[in-house]
């Protein structure tokens, strides 16, 4: 699971609503997988990022050189975009958990794939 994905996921346990974001990340196995750098795509993603959640996740994984927020003129700043490219797309959580910050419910990540399934009782109506 990439950190870009983690940044878009939220718990849908019944009753938590917007307090289900961000999911608390815990990783037991992480892999760095190089991905071809595409500055245009990374630049497109910047406005979609929730920075506090990204920084929290990056911190959990002990990542360094993580920009603290979008900088002015980021669309043309290669250094910034490369750093964001690495954080968002190249850090792959293979094993771990995502935890609903409100209910504590755990969603497992195995083989890089999060399992978000809940039973009917647990979900929003």
Partner 1 sequence: MALSCSLNRYLLLMAQEHLEFRLPSPFWILSIPSEDIARNLMKRTVCAKSIFELWGHGKSPEELYNSLKNYPVEKMVPFLHSDSTYKIKIHTFNKTLTQEEKVKRIDALAFLPFEGKVNLKKPQHIFSILEDYGLDPNCIPENPHNIYFGRWIADGQRELIESYSVKKRHFIGNTSMDAGLSFIMANHGKVKENDIVFDPFVGTGGLLIASAHFGAYVYGTDIDYNTVHGLGKASRKNQKWRGPDENIRANLRQYGLEKYYLDVLVSDASKPSWRKGTYFDAIITDPPYGIRESTRRTGSQKEIPKGMEKCPESHVPVSLSYHLSDMFFDLLNFAAETLVLGGRLVYWLPVYTPEYTEEMVPWHPCLKLISNCEQKLSSHTSRRLITMEKVKKFENRDQYSHLLSDHFLPYQGHNSFREKYFSGVTKRIAKEEKSSQE
- Interface residues with partner 1 (CB under 8 A) are 1-2, 4-5, 8-12, 18, 20-22, 35-36, 38, 40-41, 44, 48, 50, 89, 108, 110-121, 123-124
22/67 with CB nearer partner 1: 22
77/90 with CB nearer partner 1: 90
Rg of the chain's alpha carbons, rounded to an integer?
A: 15
Q: Are 27 and 61 in contact (CB under 8 A)?
A: yes
For the bound state, the minimum distance from the C-beta of residue 58 to partner 1, rounded and expressed in Å, comes to: 17
For the bound state, the minimum distance from the C-beta of residue 118 to partner 1, rounded and expressed in Å, comes to: 6
45/64 with CB nearer partner 1: 45
Calpha distance 30→121 (Å, rounded): 32
3/64 with CB nearer partner 1: 3
Please report, for residues 32, 35, 72, 116, the alpha-carbon distance to residue 12 in angstroms, rounded to integers and kept in the order given: 29, 30, 35, 9
Tokens of 35: 């991905």
Q: Are 25 and 11 in contact (CB under 8 A)?
A: no
């Amino acid at each position: 699971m990439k950190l870009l994905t983690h940044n878009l996921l939220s718990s849908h346990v019944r009753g938590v609503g917007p307090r289900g974001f961000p999911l608390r990340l815990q990783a037991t196995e992480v892999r760095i997988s190089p991905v071809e750098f595409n500055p245009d795509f990374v630049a497109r993603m910047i406005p979609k990022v929730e920075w506090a959640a990204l920084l929290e996740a990056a911190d959990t994984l002990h990542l360094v050189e993580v920009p603290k927020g979008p900088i002015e003129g980021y669309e043309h700043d290669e250094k910034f975009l490369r750093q964001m490219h690495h954080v968002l797309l190249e850090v792959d959580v293979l094993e771990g958990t995502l935890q609903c910050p409100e209910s504590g419910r755990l969603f497992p990540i195995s083989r890089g794939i999060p399992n978000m399934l809940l039973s009917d009782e647990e979900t929003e109506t």
